A and B are shown apart, each in its own frame.
Chain A
Amino acid sequence: MKLITAIIQPEKLPDVKQALFDVDVHKMTVSNVIGAGQQKGYTENYRGVVSEVNLLKKVRIEIAVNDNFVDKTVEAVIKGARTGKIGDGKIFITDLKECIRIRTKETGKDAIG
């Protein structure tokens, strides 16, 4: 079992969701986060004064999958989120020790799927 954590551009969320749905990945947790990467920041204009914004709005998607779903999921995220520009984001994959479904107390493979 793996936990896939993807940090993407907020406006790419609809595309990533669609790409994930296309490969039958429907379960995910999405949160709004702020952070800084290579993109560094952007500028806002307020009443003639430029202000630098360093921490950017990003979206974090967390998906727990069985091993045979890892590649598909990663490919789908890339397909949906990639523009080729700096700021497209990152994907982290970590080992997942256990997964328990609260309702049924199922564990492991059954709980994720």
Chain B
Amino acid sequence: MRIWQGIFKKRSMRLGLLALAALTASGAADPAVAGENLADIARSVDLVWMLLGGFLVFWMQAGFALVESGFTRAKNAVNIIAKNLMDFALGCPFYFIIGYGLMFGADKLGLIGTSNFALNGVTDMWDIGFFFFQAMFAATAATIVSGAMAERTQFKAYLFYTVFISAFIYPVVGHWIWGGGWLAEKGFLDFAGSTVVHSVGGWAALTGAIFLGPRIGKYTPDGRSKAIPGHNIPLAALGVFILWFGWFGFNGGSTIAATNWNISLVLVTTTLAAAAGTCGALFYSWIRFGKPDIAMALNGALAGLVSITAPAYDVSAVSSLIIGLIGGVLVVAAVEFIDKVLHVDDPVGAVSVHAVCGVWGTIALGLFAESQYGNGVSGLFFGGGLSQLLVQLEGIIVVAVWTIAASAAVFTVAKYLIGLRASREEELKGLDITEHGQEAYAGFEIFSNE
């Protein structure tokens, strides 16, 4: 008791001293000193907000891991977790050594950055914190791909690919748009990464899924698509909630400043779009398939979130509802189209969520932006004409072409160097036993005969 009192006394004394110091600072005769102190505090608050955003974006890794394992079969759950763990653990160091410099280093011709590799010469603590924040985003782009390539990819090949997206493919796009590159110069806007992060992940996912081909038993010889249900919907749902929560850091943190009160708008548009996306997917699937499909509704929440990621800073709350709703309907239509028409097997809908809705979100900024908000630009529907929309479209196309070409090159090399696809026997037995020698649910007698 006495010890506690002692500590309390000491504490309050120290607090008193601090208060006194603050008083003398602010109440002092020199207002310049007071102003400097306030600016310091503001900058500290900004730093904390940015780092907090980074924490939340990191937590999205957990969301992806759960969504992807829930939407796939029990016999591959260990493998999915291994991929989600390793694309961060391997991608992060490579982003540190190469990627960050390409993305935010000194600009060369608007195409790539050329300094700050391995944080060389970066000494300012703000800049080091900024690297932390950006590394979490790079990991998000990388981890999107594992879902589309689930249940049939060789683990080695996936590790090989993940190094390239983190070190090279993603940072180059990042430089064009966020690092002061040529698209940024043209006025292309992507607030938190509908294009930079999600489309890059989504296009790479599409390329990977095409290179691999469908899982055994996914399509009948006469071309009918068969469902391969995921093994744990509650796990997938938890993953979606975690992603939704993490998105508050993904979008909210992207102001990189707590003193920028537009955060409030960003968080409102993010939430409303996610809710509307969920509704859009649920009700559209209900009408289309006769039952409210909860797996689709979960994808719908992510669709709404991806759709609002680019325009979150520049559109009204009402517009965000429309953007999210369209994203939710779009994701269901895209899942059907990619599966039944293109015959590309994407077990978790990663291409529909991240590429299709990433594109939609980037276009939506060109349609719904209002000059009274963040960037001060107007889209087509608010008197801004076509100019912003055209820039957005240009960015979308260039990023798609670059990502598909670059990842196709990486997958081709992987295919001939290490082999991309697991053998038929490995795939049928499950990658958990064949690749890792482990089961996800040991002792639970999970049989794997599909």
A45-B437 CB under 8 A given contacts A11-B428, A11-B429: yes
A14 touches B437 (CB 8 A): no
Give the one of B425, B428, B438 with max A CB within 10 A.
B428
Tell me if B442 is interfacial: C-beta within 8 Å of chain A: yes
Tell me if A94 is interfacial: C-beta within 8 Å of chain B: no
B449 touches A59 (CB 8 A): yes
The count of chain A contact residues (Cβ–Cβ below 8 Å) is 14
Interfacial chain A residues near B445, Cβ < 8 Å: 32, 34, 57
B220 vs chain A, min Cβ distance (A): 10
Complex CA–CA separation, A33 to B199 (angstroms):
45
For chain B, what secondary structure do more than half of its interface residues adopt (helix, strand, loop), or is it mixed? loop
For chain A, what secondary structure do more than half of its interface residues adopt (helix, strand, loop), or is it mixed? strand
B438 touches A13 (CB 8 A): no
Complex CA–CA separation, A93 to B180 (angstroms):
75
Tell me if B16 is interfacial: C-beta within 8 Å of chain A: no
Interfacial chain B residues near A10, Cβ < 8 Å: 429, 447-449
Among A3-35, those with CB < 8 Å from B are 10-14, 30, 32, 34
A11-B425 CB under 8 A given contacts A32-B449, A59-B449: yes
Give the one of A10, A11, A44, A45 with max B CB within 10 A.
A11
Interfacial chain B residues near A30, Cβ < 8 Å: 449
A85 vs chain B, min Cβ distance (A): 10
Complex CA–CA separation, A108 to B445 (angstroms):
36
Complex CA–CA separation, A14 to B428 (angstroms):
9
Interfacial chain A residues near B450, Cβ < 8 Å: 13-14
Tell me if B217 is interfacial: C-beta within 8 Å of chain A: yes
B74 vs chain A, min Cβ distance (A): 12
Partner of B447, one of A12, A14, A32, A45: A32
B219 vs chain A, min Cβ distance (A): 13
- Which B residues have a C-beta under 8 Å from some C-beta of A? 216-217, 425, 428-429, 433, 436-439, 442, 445, 447-450
- Which A residues have a C-beta under 8 Å from some C-beta of B? 10-14, 30, 32, 34, 43-46, 57, 59
Seed contacts A44-B442, A45-B438; 5 additional CB < 8 Å A-B pairs: A11-B425, A32-B445, A34-B445, A44-B438, A57-B445
6 residue pairs from A and B, CB less than 8 Å apart = A13-B450, A14-B217, A44-B442, A45-B437, A46-B438, A59-B447
